[in-house]
């Protein structure tokens, strides 16, 4: 079956630091990969996605590249802000699972001024 493993948190960084949150996956098909962000007390929002190997998703300064050879989709940002403090979820979906997504356990990021 499908699974997503992401870096355990919590992660605490100072403002303007470089961020990496690791994500690796296993899938039976050819999945699309997603990063979602959840701010306190809210639902999840799509941050970025990539639908095939070597695609790079980017949004709001965040980037992630779909690496089929390493089955990874690591999230990066060059300079984090306090407003980036949230929980980040890596997820995948493929056509073998009736539209369902498989989520990682989430990584809590706290950025301090």
Structure tokens at 62: 């965040």
Q: Residue 13: CB partners within 8 Å, gap ≥ 6?
A: 19, 80, 109, 110, 111, 112
Of 55 and 76, nearer to other proteins (C-beta) is 55
Comparing C-alpha atoms, which of 26, 23, 35 is closest to residue 2?
26
Q: Taking CB under 8 A as the rule, does residue 98 contact other proteins?
A: yes
The binding track of 62-81 with respect to other proteins, each residue x by CB under 8 A or -, is --------------------
Summarize as ranges the residues that interact with other proteins (CB under 8 A).
29, 31-32, 34, 36, 41-46, 49, 51, 89, 93-95, 97-101, 103-106, 108
């Amino acid at each position: 079956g499908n699974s997503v493993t992401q870096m355990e948190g919590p992660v605490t960084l100072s403002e303007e630091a470089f961020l990496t949150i690791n994500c690796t996956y296993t899938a039976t098909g050819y999945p699309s990969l997603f990063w979602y962000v959840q701010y306190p007390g809210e639902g999840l929002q799509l941050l970025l996605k990539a639908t095939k190997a070597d695609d790079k998703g980017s949004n709001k300064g965040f980037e992630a590249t779909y690496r089929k050879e390493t089955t990874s989709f690591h999230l990066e940002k060059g300079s984090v802000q306090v407003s980036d403090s949230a929980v980040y979820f890596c997820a995948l979906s493929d056509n073998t699972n009736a539209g369902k997504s498989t989520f990682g356990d989430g990584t809590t990021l706290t950025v301090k001024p």
